[in-house]
Amino acid sequence: MRSEQNQVYVLGSARIPFAKSMTTYRNVSRHELMAASLNALVDQYRLQGRLMGDVALGAVLNSSSEFNLAREVVLSTALHPDTPAYNVQRACGTGLENVWQIALKAHSGAITMGIAGGVDTNSDLPIEVSEGLQKAMLQLNGARTLIERLKIIGSLKLRDLTPKIPVIDEPRTKLSMGKHCELMVKEWGISREEQDELAMASHVNGAKAYAEGFYDDLVTPFQGLKQDGTLRGDTNLEKLAKLKPAFIADGLLTAGNSSPLTDGSACVLVANDVGASSLGLKPLAKIIDVQAAAVDFVKGAGLLMAPTKAVAQLLTRNRLTFADFDYFELHEAFAGQVLCNMKAWETESYCRDVLGLSSALGKIDRSKLNTVGSSLSVGHPFAATGARITGTLAKLLSQNGSKRGLISICTAGGMGIAAIMESVN
């Protein structure tokens, strides 16, 4: 999308405050959460009655009963009812994937404007029945006599009545993302203290940003919550050091240096020049390029190391170095994951042997990293995070004469997605 013809912009974004799962939003559905952010976007940017070219939304923890979630959410807003919408799922990269898809459509001229976003909640889980009960219910549906039905019911075992709760363990390794990250921090020699320091910085930066009003036009109060419920501006290294390992007995990952289970949603308004002009809105930032990548974690690669490849490919294609960026928005699934990725970019052998580069990418300036907080502090509703980060970076790039920002997100399945955005002027 480097061509200046049909340049694509972020015109604005909106989200609700993120909340720790099973707290503020425990009785709110994913549909209601997503509609709240989309309605906030419609109100803030006067989109009532507007026909969007397309709307891409997604949820990692979605239900089969909400197979048409995106379209149903659109119909719960004041957007023109003829606005099409569809669901997308790329694990924790869903929100950014949706921004990419809408941006590509606007860049091609197929549409002039669209909306991308995502939602997730662990308080409205799509609980399933066991495989045994599922088969029995299907057989019961086709049974013709009472004896047939009784025979089917009699074949059920007590364990068949136990519901299946969704888990985000990797199907091929049976390990959680946290356990995979424990393997990574061990491989890369990342200490507990380093992880706690990064977590504290995220909370400090997030709290400062809220205090200074940065989030005033990005976050719309919902259900009585005015700011992210996971944010702890008063945290310190002493408090973080007291927390016990969260995933393995002798591990280095804790609830403090891992992103919390979070409920929330976010969305982004994307348009080309024609769309921006028709809406009468000044673009905040340009979407320059996006890249997805994957690693073979089954054969030993770190599950959350794919962003190193996505970022390397982006920088190579666009002939940029870390020195060319004013902001680094690196999704904080775990503090350890961010630190492993950054250490890999600094390591000559990794950049040469794994990324195919002639030299190391180098260090990231920590003063430019997640300057207004990120997932460790504001929370991580899986599919919403990419949209949250895109909206945040767009606003940062519209201020202070900044020029360029980099987004990096790790996802389940050993994938990563990264993006480059630039200021408009």
Crossing angle for the helix pair 335-346 and 306-318, to the nearest 10 degrees: 50
State how far Cα 181 lies from the chain centre.
17
Give pLDDT tens digits for 349-396: 999 999 999 999 999 999 999 999 999 999 999 999 999 999 999 999
**Catalytic option among 107, 180, 331, 380:** 380
Q: Do the bridges between strand 285-294 and strand 8-15 make them parallel or antiparallel, or are there none, so unpaired?
A: antiparallel
Residue 250 falls in which region: left (phi positive, over 0), alpha (psi -120 to 50) or beta: alpha
Enter the tokens of residue 134.
């599922």
Structure confidence at residue 402 (pLDDT): 84
Domain boundaries in the chain?
131-161, 177-214+288-419
Alpha helix ranges (H) inside 157-253:
177-188, 192-211, 237-241
Q: Which of 31, 80, 92, 351 is catalytic?
A: 92
The dotted CATH code for 177-214+288-419 is 3.40.47.10
Task: Kindly report, residue by residue over 11-20, the tens digit of the pLDDT.
Answer: 999 999 999 9
CB 240, CB 203: distance < 8 Å: no
- In percent, the amount of the chain with pLDDT more than 70 equals 99
Q: Which of 181, 340, 351, 410 is catalytic?
A: 410
Told to judge if 380 belongs to the known catalytic residues of this protein, a careful annotator would answer yes
**DSSP class per residue in 72-106:** HHHTTSSS-TT--EEE--BTBTHHHHHHHHHHHHH
| C-alpha dihedral, 178 to 183 to 187 to 188, nearest 10° | 0
pLDDT of 2 above 70: no
**Amino acid, res. 374:** S
Q: Where are the beta strands (DSSP E) in 99-171?
A: 113-120
Clarify whether 92 is annotated catalytic. Answer: yes
Give residue 1's pLDDT: 54
Helices (H), 189-255: 192-211, 237-241
| CB contact set of 171 (below 8 Å; sequence gap of 6+) | none
110-143 residue pLDDT tens? 999 999 999 999 998 888 888 888 898 899 888 8
**pLDDT tens-digit profile of 185-237?**
999 999 999 999 999 999 999 999 999 999 999 999 999 999 999 999 999 99
Contact 24, 262 (CB under 8 A): no
Containing 267, the helix (H) or strand (E) segment is: strand 262-272
Distance of alpha carbon 20 from alpha carbon 200, whole angstroms: 18
Query: pTM for the full model?
Result: 0.94
- Given a contact cutoff of 8 angstroms between Cβ atoms, the answer to whether 318 and 312 are in contact is no
- What is the C-alpha to C-alpha distance for residues 138 and 298, in angstroms, rounded to an integer? 35
Each residue of 46-77: pLDDT tens digit? 999 999 999 999 999 998 888 999 999 999 99
Strand-pair category, 404-411 with 113-120: unpaired
Residue 205: which of 407, 392, 416, 405 has the closest Cα? 392
